[in-house]
């Protein structure tokens, strides 16, 4: 299932646009995605109907970026993760390493947009979760002005449960 909806007469101005503002209605999906987005919320809905959950907490942090040359990177984390006692990222205890991995999601690779179908896919060239490497995953996408809504198009396994993941991102302020 693919869904894209553009709402409102918002304008967008990116570095390199030479001061020109572009109306959201006139921009294609790919052009609207370009840039950095900060995580607002990450909610999982188990397909068995059990209560929704926030696997990285209510204040999960993250950034997703889409580059003009067709690559993307997503990084999400549980805030407040502890430092390794050793101070060496390759020398954590088994407990520290387990906590590190269970509190972080990271993957990147090419993204693809089909403007006619208004569809989006993420291809994983690298991933913290090895099972995703080499996969191409479709996303349900909707953009409302400065908010990007991404959802899995089919259930994924999370914590032993099949879930649909729903993420809301807000366009990041320029870092000039």
> Does the domain at residues 11-171 carry the CATH identifier 2.40.128.490?
yes
Residues in the chain predicted with pLDDT less than 50, given as ranges, are 1-21
Domain boundaries, the chain: 11-171
Q: How far is CA 68 from the centre of its chain?
A: 17
Q: How far apart are CA 164 and CA 110, in angstroms?
A: 22
């Amino acid at each position: 299932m693919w869904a894209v909806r553009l709402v409102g007469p918002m304008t967008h101005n990116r570095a390199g646009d030479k001061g020109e503002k572009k109306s959201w209605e006139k921009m294609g999906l790919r052009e609207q995605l370009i840039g950095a987005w900060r995580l607002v919320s990450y909610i999982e809905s188990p397909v068995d109907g059990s209560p929704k959950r926030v696997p990285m907490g209510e204040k999960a942090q993250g950034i997703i970026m889409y580059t003009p040359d067709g690559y993307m990177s997503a990084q999400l984390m549980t805030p407040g993760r502890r430092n390794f006692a050793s101070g060496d990222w390759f020398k954590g205890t088994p407990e520290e390493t387990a906590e590190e991995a269970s509190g972080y999601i990271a993957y990147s690779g090419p993204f693809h947009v089909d403007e006619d179908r208004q569809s989006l896919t993420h291809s994983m060239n690298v991933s913290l979760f090895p099972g995703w490497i080499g996969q191409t995953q479709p996303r349900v996408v909707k953009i409302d002005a400065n908010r990007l809504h991404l959802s899995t198009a089919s259930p994924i396994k999370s914590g032993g449960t099949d879930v649909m993941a729903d993420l809301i991102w807000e366009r990041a302020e320029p870092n000039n």
